[in-house]
């Protein structure tokens, strides 16, 4: 599948979260913007830099009425351990079974794991930013914050 285009509705998903409950994209509609951070693997070197980089900006994300969700094809068990090791406050969602969300966002590699990709979805469920990153590079958090600041100015 292709990466959904900016300006189109974000594909819906329902994925297991760290506490065993299900988190749905629709849970945030009308309430907050959402940053989806797809990443390849828990405990990999670049992911172990990327996710703490998002965590460092959590207050800014809160101020911009934004929920951050990490998504990979690893299990919820691996996510819990990885999040605890990194001190993450945002949920890591598991697309282990079926890999439906990863496929719907066009970031499922043929080998069965996710590309490194970031999506910003506004409060109305519309994609406002979609970027597949070099898998060996940490994405620029400031670029994501910039998109959210634009949304705050009323362009959503």
Q: In which element (H, E) is residue 119 found? A: strand 116-121
Among candidate residues 37, 46, 47, 83, the one labeled active-site is 47
Question: Per the structure block, which two tokens stand in for 94?
Answer: 């598991």
Place of tokens 């990863």: 102
- Helix, strand, coil share (%) of the chain residues, nearest 5: 30, 25, 45
Task: Return d(Cα 29, Cα 137) in angstroms, integer.
Answer: 30
Task: Return d(Cα 16, Cα 92) in angstroms, integer.
Answer: 9
Catalytic-residue membership of 50? no
Task: Return d(Cα 145, Cα 150) in angstroms, integer.
Answer: 9
Q: Which residues are catalytic?
A: 47
């Amino acid at each position: 599948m292709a990466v959904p285009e900016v300006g189109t509705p974000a594909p819906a998903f329902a994925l297991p979260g760290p506490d065993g409950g299900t988190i749905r994209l629709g849970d945030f509609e009308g309430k907050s913007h959402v940053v989806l951070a797809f990443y390849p693997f828990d405990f990999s070197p670049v992911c172990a830099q990327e996710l703490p980089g998002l965590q460092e900006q959590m207050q800014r994300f809160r101020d911009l009425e934004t929920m951050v969700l990490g998504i990979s094809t690893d299990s919820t068990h691996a996510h819990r351990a990885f999040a605890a090791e990194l001190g993450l406050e945002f949920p890591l969602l598991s697309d282990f079974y079926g890999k439906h969300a990863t496929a719907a966002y066009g970031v499922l590699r043929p080998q069965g794991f996710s590309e490194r990709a970031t999506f910003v979805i506004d409060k109305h469920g519309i994609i406002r930013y979609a970027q597949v990153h070099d898998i060996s590079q940490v994405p620029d958090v400031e670029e994501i914050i910039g998109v959210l600041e634009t949304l705050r100015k009323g362009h959503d």
